[in-house]
Structures are given as C-alpha cells and as structure tokens.
Structure 1
Amino acid sequence: MEYRFSNATLNAKTQTLDVEDKKIVLEERVFNLLLYLLDTRPKVCNQQELVAFLWPDSVVSPWSLPRLVSDTRSLLQRLGVDQDIIVTVRGQGYKFNPELKVLQQSPKDETQLNLELLSVERHSDGAHLKFWIGVTLLMCSICIWLIINHSFEHLNDKEFKASEPLDAIGRILWVDDNPTNNKKEQGYFLKHKIGVYNTTSTQEALLLLSMYEYNVVISDMGRQGEPLAGLKLLRAMRTRGDDTPFYVYTWVESENQISVIKAAGGQGVATKKVDLYESVLLHFHNEIL
C-alpha cells in the first residue's frame, strides 16, 4: 500500500518515504507513527493510545513520544516535505494534518502484471506462451534478488542501532571504527539512563546527525587509516551549523591536540574514563537532577 500526501509517498511494504528525488528507509518507530496516524485519520490519537501502540508491553518516560514526534518532524523537514504532516492538538494528542489530501494506492507487483499478460495471451501460439513464461520467471528472479539485497541493507542498518533505556534522558552518538573497545564506558552511560548509538565512519555520523538529535558526540581521533578523522568530523559539523557538544576519546592526550580540538569548536579531549564521564554528564546535569 502506498500513501501519497503533500509532495511525499509512504510505501507501507518497503517502509520507505519518497520525497521528490529523495528516498529513505524509515526507522521502525518513525514509520509506525506515520502509518498509524494515516490509518486513523482524521481522528486525534491521545498519548496513551500512541505509546501503547509504539512501545507495546513497555514502560517509557513521559517525553518519549514527544521526542519521537519532534524527531519525525525534523526528519520530514530535512527531506523537503512541503507541509506539516503531524498536527498537535493541545491537551488531546496528535493527528494527521486534515488539510492534506491522501491518496491510497496498491501498486501492482511486476510478477502479477506479467501473469495478467500471460492470461491475455493464453490463446496465442506456443511460442508466445513460452516467451511470457520466460519473462515471468525472469521477473521472479529479479524480485527475489531485490528482497535478498534489501534484507542485507537492513542487516547493515543494525550497525547504527544501539541501546536506549526505556526512560532515557538523552542520547550520545559514539563514532569509532572499533565500538567494542568502549563497552564499559557505554555501559556506564546506559546505567545513567543515557542512550548510546554507535557508528563507524564520519559519513555515517553526519547522516545520523542530519536525521536525529543527539545531546553529545564522542569520537575517536584516528580511524580507518585516517589519523585526523575525528577532527574532520568536528569541522564538518561546525561548518554546517551543528553545535552539538563534541569530545574526542583517545589513548594519547597532548596539549596540542586539546588546542586543535577546542579551536575547531570541540569541547575537549579525554583519555581516562573518569574524565570522559565527568565532562559528558555535565550536558545531562538538569535531567539527572
């Protein structure tokens, strides 16, 4: 099923959103939120109803849903959706924008289309029949390949996901090509109800920062053969106006390194776990209190 609204198309089968020439696979809860509001329009969905649907059999903090709605709105805006999709009804909940016209369409599967063509040609001679059977088998093979390829893409997407407590007070984006090196440190933040999301490259980090909001970024300095990868990520963030607090967590600390990071707009460099904890927790001070 496809839903067309504004300048966007939501594909329920592939869990993708198309906005003009941009296409993205949506994170599961973002997709479920949009689909639920579409299917229940023009009804106003209260917070209890949405929380029960999006976090079944779970206890979440009161601001988990507002944060998800905020992240979803930010993502839609970055993708270039022309109009507001989610409307807040004060004191009641959320609903799909009633001003937008929604077109629902069930796109025909290519294999089904070829089978229909075969039906039309059923009175043709044997050569025609063999031709269409061959076309159908070819399309089936292509569909199977696409499904397998799509599955591998989703497996790769799991690299971006990490743990977030049900009552999380915020998020850290941790950029390191060997995330297993930081298990103890990440466990510490999780105990303090801070979600930790791992990624392994500058490109992936910048993509995630454009899609979601994080309270702090922690990065290694060198990775994947690039000794200044952390510094380049910091500069790229500041160049595009992203002022998320940034810390380098590395093995070797030097005065020059600290100076360079701070000159580029970073908050600091840490080589010890204790120093990292103290610095990062300052950005969650109000929430912890």
Structure 2
Amino acid sequence: MEYRFSNVILNAKTQTLDVANKKVVLEERAFNLLLYLLDTRPKVCNQQELVAYLWPDSVVSPWSLPRLVSDTRSLLQRLGVAQDIIVTVRGQGYKFNPELHVLQHHASDETQLNFEAIGAEHRADGTHLKFWIGLTLFMCTVCIWLVINHSFEHLGENEFKASEPLNAIGRILWVDDNPTNNKKEQSYFLQHKIGVYNTTSTQEALLLLSMYDYNVVISDMGRHGEPLAGLKLLQTMRARGDETPFYVYTWVESDNQNKVIKSAGGQGVATKKADLYKNVLLHFHNEIL
C-alpha cells in the first residue's frame, strides 16, 4: 500500500519515504508511528495507545513518545517534507494533519535484497537474550530503562554521552542500546586519543550525524527488539549520501551477515575486539603516525 500526501509518498511494504524523488528507509518506530497515525486518521491517538502500539510488552519512560515524535518531525523537516505531518492536540495526544489530503493505492512489487536468512539468525540467537531483557525490565520498571538508555559514564541527565580525550585525533559514533557492553573497547579507543560518542537509537544517531562529523560509526546489529536495526541505520545513511565508514560489532559470526553489510555500503562486521581495533584504527592511521 502507498500513501500520497503533501510532497511525500510513503510505501508501507518497503518502509520507505519518497520526498521529491529521494527515497529514504525509515527507522522502524518512526515508520510505525506515521503509519498508525495515517491508518487511524482523523482520530486523536492518546499517549497510552501509542506507547502500547510502538513499545509492546515493554516499560518505557514518559518522555519516550514525545522524543520519538520530535525526532520524527526533525527528520521529516530535514528530508524536505513541505508540511507538518504530525499534529499535537494539547492534553489529548497526536493525530495526522487533517489539512493534508491522502491518496491510497496498492503499490507494485519492488525488488529488494533478501534479508530473511540473516534476520532468522538474529531472531534465533537473540531469543534467550530477549527473554532476560524483558524479565529485567518487568522487575526493575522504569529505573532499568533509564540505565540502559544512558551511556556507561552516567555523568549527566542526557541520554547521549560523549567522552573525548585532550588532543583527540578523531571521533567515533557508537550506536548500541546497552553501551556498558562495550566499556573495554571504548577505553581502548580513548587510550589512542579517539573520542567516543554513545547513543542508543537509530533516530538519535541520524540526527547526530546530520549535526557533527565522525570518522567512523560502530553499531550493533539488533536493538530494541529490531534484529536488523544496524542494517537499517546503514541503509538510511547511504540513502542520505552519508559515506562515513560503518562497522557492525556483534557476537554473531556470519559470512552472510558480512556480505549484506558490505553490499549495503558498510565496511564490514567484527565479532572480536582485535578485529574491531585493527579495522577502525585504519581510518585514523595518518593521525596516529
């Protein structure tokens, strides 16, 4: 199904947004938010309804939805969408802009890369982990969510954390929903005078990439229940013309996974610390010498 409104074509099948003939793959929750508001228009959707739909079986902080709406609006504006899509109804919730006329029709099939095999790998390997994450969230409620969304430094109130040594030779943007998993690796880069900037979501990573320069992006593959979140971040970056070197750092070793990342424009996949260090330091070779 395709939805046409303003200067936008939203394709529900391919999860893409076409603005002035420029096609972009949307991050999962931003896409689901837009599609839900489209399908329920002109209804006003309250916060409880949207949170239950976008974060099923999860405990989230009260500001998760407003932040997603804000990030989605910013992304749409940067893409060149001519009109506001999401309308805030004070004290009630959000709705699709009633001033926009929407045309719907069934889109023709489009050829895409087949990611089913790699998706199955992550779903199978991540089942046990998802169980424990869900159990932990249930037992510890909102406090655990806040901890997960903070970087390992815990130095301030913002979710996005940075650590940059004096006389830094460059910067890494590290995207992972649990930054504490990478403390040793990040310490290694800091010792080599490379700044490390942590974020936990695709939307925030894209926003930061539009604002600042980074030498390398390191991302996990699956996060927040999305087994291909890292791949989708890479696809969106390349669709926007961002050629920042991109590596996936994960515990699942797979030749197929490495091929998919490279075919999408990434530099590769690392499952061992030594391989990650060697690959990433190549992008700082001249500065280190």
TM norm structure 1: 0.49
Q: Which has the higher helix share?
A: 1
Q: Structure with the greater relative contact order (CA < 8 A, sep ≥ 6): 1 or 2? A: 2
Rg bigger for which structure?
A: 1
TM norm structure 2: 0.49
